[in-house]
Amino acid sequence: MHMSLTYILPLLGVVQGVIIIVVILQRKVSHPLKLANRFFAAFTAILTIATLGLILDSVNFKQLTATQSLLLYTLPFHFIMFLGPVLWLYGRSLFEKDFKWSSRIYRHFYLGILDIVPFLTGYMLVIPYNLNWLSTKELHPVFHFVGNYNHYIDIVRFVSVTIYISIIWRSLPRWKKMADQRTFRWFKNLLIGVTIIDCIWAPYLVVYVSPWQAQLIHWVDYFPVYYPIVALIYYLGIRLMTQNQPLRPSQFAADEMSQHIALLRQKLHEEKLYRQTNLKLEQLSEQTGITTKQISFILNHHFKKGFNDFINEYRIQEAIDQMNENALKNTTMEGIALDVGFSSRSTFYRAFKKVTGESPTAYLKK
């Protein structure tokens, strides 16, 4: 059997996909990432098996018996109905701390039965054929049915994948608030790759319903779709090999981060915790019940600030409010600084200029 470069590239992609799956399943990770790794391995397996199916569909095996041809032709290589749900669940397992496998999740995979209809058809006919209950000529309609079925079921597969891609894109802004940014970029790049493949796949739906279906498929084949899949598989392999740090799961449940943000604002705005001189991250954690890691994550990823800058902004805002209310008639600038939580006049001046861009004296003159 002669293998041209057209087949060698997808075949190398299949090999790379198998390597990725083995590495992922054998890698030791923390408990929150175990489920995410399984979803990622399943996602890679779907792409890898589909690519292998394209190769076997496109190669002419002249020495196969009718039984072998029937089984090979009907093997379920294309589990595309699972692609969208697996990618969506992979995102949830990365970015939602409280995500767990439950019986309700199985509903997302019910349509997967459509992917194995050709295999069930072929398997049910193998025994009658080998018992001479069916002739080779009578198998031809079966091959014709399987071919047409795989073409038209692709429309349902495409709709399923597109719906889940849309759901994931709508979920990204919410996930981004809770996610480690490096992990988020990894998943977003993965989603972009699948979206590109989905867009390239779309024109094939027009081919299926055209009167020139056979000629167009014979001329174009599916390689324009599968080459990007192979490229995505290689991208996944390269990223996994070059990662210096493991992916980090989210520290928050679905609505937990927004609740923590509201609690922090309440404690600082209403109870004025920032007035405590030399307030530390650990003290804020004790008084809010939020872990230090979660507070640091919220400050770095949501507010884009360090702890000291975040607290000082509250202090400076109250200092400005007091200055606007003519509090200096009854106290000094140093008195205001100490009242809002600064330990010294110099620290207050540096923080004031950093927040407002000018010194307290310049602000008063204005």
SS3 letters across 162-230 = HHHHHHHHHHHHHHHHHCCHHHHHHHHHHHHHHHHHHHHHHHHHHHHCCCCHHHHHHHHCCHHHHHHHH
| Residue 45 half-sphere exposure toward CB, CA atoms < 13 A | 15
Q: What does the pLDDT read at residue 1?
A: 45
The Cα–Cα gap between 171 and 148 comes to: 35
Q: What is the pLDDT of residues 204-253, one digit of tens each?
A: 777 766 666 666 666 666 777 888 999 999 988 888 777 655 677 676 66
The residue assigned the tokens 């679905």 is 254
Cβ neighbours for 310, distance < 8 A, ≥ 6 positions apart: 299, 303
Comparing C-alpha atoms, which of 59, 84, 85 is closest to residue 73? 59
Q: Are 10 and 54 in contact (CB under 8 A)?
A: yes
Class of domain 5-242: mainly alpha
Both tokens of residue 173?
């802004």
Both tokens of residue 342?
């600064």
Cα 68-71-74 angle, rounded to 5 deg: 140
Domain boundary assignment for the chain: 5-242, 256-365
Q: Whole-model pTM above 0.85?
A: no
Per-residue DSSP letter, 340 = T
The pLDDT confidence band at residue 176, using thresholds 50, 70 and 90, is confident
Q: What is the pLDDT of residues 117-167, one digit of tens each?
A: 877 777 777 777 777 777 767 767 776 777 777 778 888 999 999 999 999
SS3 154: helix
The Cα–Cα gap between 345 and 164 comes to: 57
Assign domain 256-365 to its CATH architecture: Orthogonal Bundle (1.10)
CATH fold match for the domains 5-242 and 256-365: no
Residue 314 pLDDT exceeds 70: yes
pLDDT above 70: percentage of residues in the chain: 83
Q: Are 125 and 70 in contact (CB under 8 A)?
A: yes
Compute the Cα dihedral for 175, 180, 186, 189 and give only its sign.
positive
Provide the CA 95 distance to its chain's centre, in angstroms: 8
